[in-house]
Amino acid sequence: MRSQNRTSDVESDAVRVLDIRQITTDQLAQLGVSQLAYIKPVTVGGEDVFAIHAADGTPMAVAPNRELAWGAILEHEMVPALVN
């Protein structure tokens, strides 16, 4: 049975809020790492392809075209972003 005391429920569900103006470089780098991936056009072996990287810059995959890279990111329940 759920507690009738809403104050304690709110306190137990509280989330720590950070002031974005005081965020450290490390905290910024970790934001969205598991949810965001970016697509960057690159040349590999003389062929133009699209590299997929995690938000922290970790290489994850290479796709032959942008649409396939975009689809691969969505298939893994991540949010794609394009980088020029």
For residue 1, tell me if it sits in a domain: no
pLDDT tens digits along 5-47: 555 555 545 666 667 677 776 776 676 667 889 999 999 999 9
Structure tokens at 61: 């995959």
For residue 49, tell me if it sits in a domain: yes
Range of the domain at 48: 6-82
pTM equals: 0.62
Number of domains in the chain: 1
pLDDT of residue 29: 65
Work out the number of other CB atoms within 10 angstroms of the CB of residue 70.
18
Mean pLDDT of 41-62: 94
For residue 20, tell me if it sits in a domain: yes
* C-beta separation of 39 from 73 below 8 A: yes
> Is the four-CA dihedral 45, 50, 55, 60 of positive or negative sign?
negative
